[in-house]
Structure 1
């Protein structure tokens, strides 16, 4: 597992709404008006679990994604990050 993204915390962008669909989900960004089709229900599950885990790899594990597929999912999630569908989650100072 060489992808640093897997060890970082991520979250769904606050400007994004997910709409369930038979193929997975539609993700709509209200800020930049991008519409993205998430064509795998497993990817939708990972996106929904991001907020609950301190690392992307934890969300992948919780969604039941086999470890040998983690880097492929990280690549798909990187594409979502490039359009601000997901973003790094920063720990808030207390």
Structure 2
């Protein structure tokens, strides 16, 4: 099993996701800053597509739909899923 396949199995793409309630997203010229008020962790998002996906979570029934709406095909979604998985692991985004 490859790492990408493992990430896809661990991150539930068919669930609804949102920013963690204790996280603020601040758009910046390079992408965005995420700050978790609970853990005091700061993350820099340098990929505007990831920012767009996260911002669109409320508009979509699941993560897969949010990724597709950003124009990412099923075959090209592995790097985005990996990045979103990292954000989930750090509690920046959470499953609803």
Pairwise same-fold verdict (TM > 0.5): yes
Q: Would you say how many aligned residue pairs link Structure 1 and Structure 2? A: 88
> Is 1:86–2:88 an aligned residue pair?
no
Structure 1 segments of 4 or more deviating over 3 A?
A: none
Structure 1 residue matching 2:13: 3-state secondary structure: helix
Residue 76 of structure 1 aligns with which residue? 83
TM-score, scaled to structure 2: 0.83
Within 5 A, what are the aligned runs for 1:2-81?
3-4=8-9, 5-81=12-88
TM-score, scaled to structure 1: 0.85
Residue range with higher mean Cα deviation, 57-66 or 41-50: 57-66
Q: Point out where structure 1 has 5 or more consecutive residues left out of the alignment.
A: 90-94
C-alpha root-mean-square deviation of aligned residues, in Å? 1.3
